[in-house]
Amino acid sequence: MKILLIDDNKDITELLSKYLRLSNHECHTSNDARNGLNMIENQHYDAVLLDLAMPNFSGIDVINALVEKNTIHNQKIIIFTASSKPNNDFTELIKMGVHSCLTKPIDPDELVSYIENIEIKNS
């Protein structure tokens, strides 16, 4: 699978991208949400793991830009956040076109299994 990981924490992107590659997935990363949005707009990914809390331009800004351009359904956006937003906030994001929401920390094996399950369901 081709996966994009957008998170401002370089330790997280480095660790998870190595783990995803070891699990035989192609993984691209961005530590800047604006750059991540550009990558989403110019390439197709089987899954995009998107952090919400990033400085200057947040994950919510990325989602809003994709909704505004009516392209959010072209990608499987998975919110990947340590945020403890209430479930109704996640429900709103799902209504906007986000595929699903995962909270950090997560066991890397569970993350890989979750992502691979998405692909199996959509094959």
Greater model confidence, 120 or 12: 12
Greater model confidence, 111 or 81: 111
**How far apart are alpha carbons 33 and 39 in whole angstroms?**
10
Instruction: Determine the Cα angle at 13 with ends 35 and 109, to 5°.
Output: 135
Residue 53's alpha-carbon distances to 26, 39, 71, in angstroms, are: 24, 19, 22
Nearest to 45 by CA among 93, 115, 109: 115
Greater model confidence, 70 or 120: 70
pLDDT in tens, 13-39: 999 999 999 999 999 999 999 999 999
The whole-model pTM stands at 0.91
CB count within 10 Å of CB 15 equals 12
In the chain, the domains with their CATH numbers are 2-121 (3.40.50.2300)
pLDDT in tens, 106-123: 888 999 999 998 866 655
- Per-residue pLDDT band at 96 (split at 50, 70, 90): very high
